[in-house]
Amino acid sequence: MGLSNGACTSLQELAPGVWAYLHADSGWGHSNAGLVCGGDAALLIDTQYTPAMTRRMAAAMRDAGLPAVTTVVNTHANGDHCWGNQEFSGAEIIASKATAEAMPHDFPPGMMRKLLSDELAGTPAGQYTRRHFGAFDFTSVVITPPTRTFTGVTSVPVGSRRVVLHEVGPAHSEGDVFVHVPDANVVFAGDILFADHPVMWAGPLENWIAACDQILATGASRIVPGHGPVVGPDGVHYFRSYLQHVLAALTERFHRGMPYWAAAMDIPLGPYEHLPLRERLVATAAATYHHLGAPKVPPAEVLDRMAQASPDAS
C-alpha cells in the first residue's frame, strides 16, 4: 500500500505495521524515514531536514491513521536525519553515543545559513549550496539531542514487537546506525545505503563495506536506504561493489601521489557512471586519503573542491 501527500513524497507499507516515508528526489537533504508500529506505540526512524518538512511527514502518517510517535531513532548526526527532532519533544530520542557527540557540530544550522547568505553568493561553495540547499528553510531549527544513547547493539520494544539497532559507524558518519525489524524482514539502513553517489564524511571505506555485510547478514528482504527507493539484497550487493571499486581506485591514486580532488574525478566508474552527484566523491576521497596517512582536510576546503567539481559549476 502506498499513499502520496502530493509533495514528491510517499508513505509505503512494507510489511504489517512497518512503513517507509520516501522522497522521489534522492539528492541532498531529501532523506527517507520509517515508522514501526506496535499497538499504540510507534518508533520513527529519522526525522527530516527542517521542522516544516518533519511536520508534513507527521501529518502524512497521521492522515494514514498511524499511531503517534513514542520513540525516535536517529541513524546519524547529519541534519537531514535529525533536524526535525524538536517536533517530537514528548518522545524518547535514541542514537548512538558517537552520533550524540557529533550532533551539535555536524554542519550546524548557522553554518548552512551562512553558506546560503549573500556574503558567499559569489563563491563556488556558496553557489553550490544555493543550488542544492536553497529551498530548505533552516531558520527555526533547534538542535534537539538524543535522550538516550548506546554503543554496539541494542533492542527497543515497540508494543509486543522488537526492533534492533546496530551501530556500524564510523563509516558514512562517525555514529552510523541501521535499524532491523526482524519480524517484518525489513532494514532501515540510514546513510549506509544511497541511490546516488554517496558521500563519506568519516570512514574508512572498509568499515562501510563491513556495514553492508552486516545488513546482508540480517537476511532482510527489503532495505530502505537513507536516500533512494527501497531495494532488496541485490541493491546492497551493488552498493557494496561500488564502495570496493572506489576504495581500490583511490588507494592506487593515493600511492601515485595524485591530489585527492583530482583522484575523485579521475576514477573510471564503469557500471556506476550513471549515478548522479559524482562530485561527492571529492569528500569521500579526502576522507579516504586521511585514513591512508594524509593530513585531514578542513571541511571548508572539501566543500569548495566539491563545488568546483560539480558539473553545474560556473
Could you tell me the pTM of the whole model?
A: 0.95
Q: Which residues of the chain have pLDDT under 50?
A: 1-6
Distance of CA 238 to the CA centre of its chain: 18
Q: Are 55 and 11 in contact (CB under 8 A)?
A: no
Q: Would you state the pLDDT for residue 126?
A: 86
How far, in Å, CA of 225 to CA of 32, rounded? 7
Give me the residue label for grid cell 500500500: 1
Q: Are 304 and 125 in contact (CB under 8 A)?
A: yes
Q: Would you state the pLDDT for residue 171?
A: 98
> Which class is 2-136+143-233 in CATH?
alpha beta
Q: Would you state the pLDDT for residue 217?
A: 98
Q: What percent of the chain has pLDDT over 90?
A: 87
How far, in Å, CA of 287 to CA of 308, rounded? 18
Q: Would you state the pLDDT for residue 121?
A: 80
Q: Would you state the pLDDT for residue 7?
A: 59
Torsion on CA atoms 272, 278, 280, 283, rounded to nearest 10: 90
Q: Where are the alpha helices (DSSP H) in 134-259?
A: 205-217, 233-256
Q: Would you state the pLDDT for residue 6?
A: 43
- In our burial notation (b when 16+ CB lie closer than 10 A, e otherwise), range 57-79 reads bbebbeeeebbebbbbbbbbbbb
Domain boundaries, the chain: 2-136+143-233
Q: Would you state the pLDDT for residue 120?
A: 79
Strand order in the sheet with 186-194: 153-158, 161-167, 177-181, 186-194, 222-227
Q: Would you state the pLDDT for residue 122?
A: 82
Give the contacts of 295 (CB within 8 A, at least 6 positions apart).
none
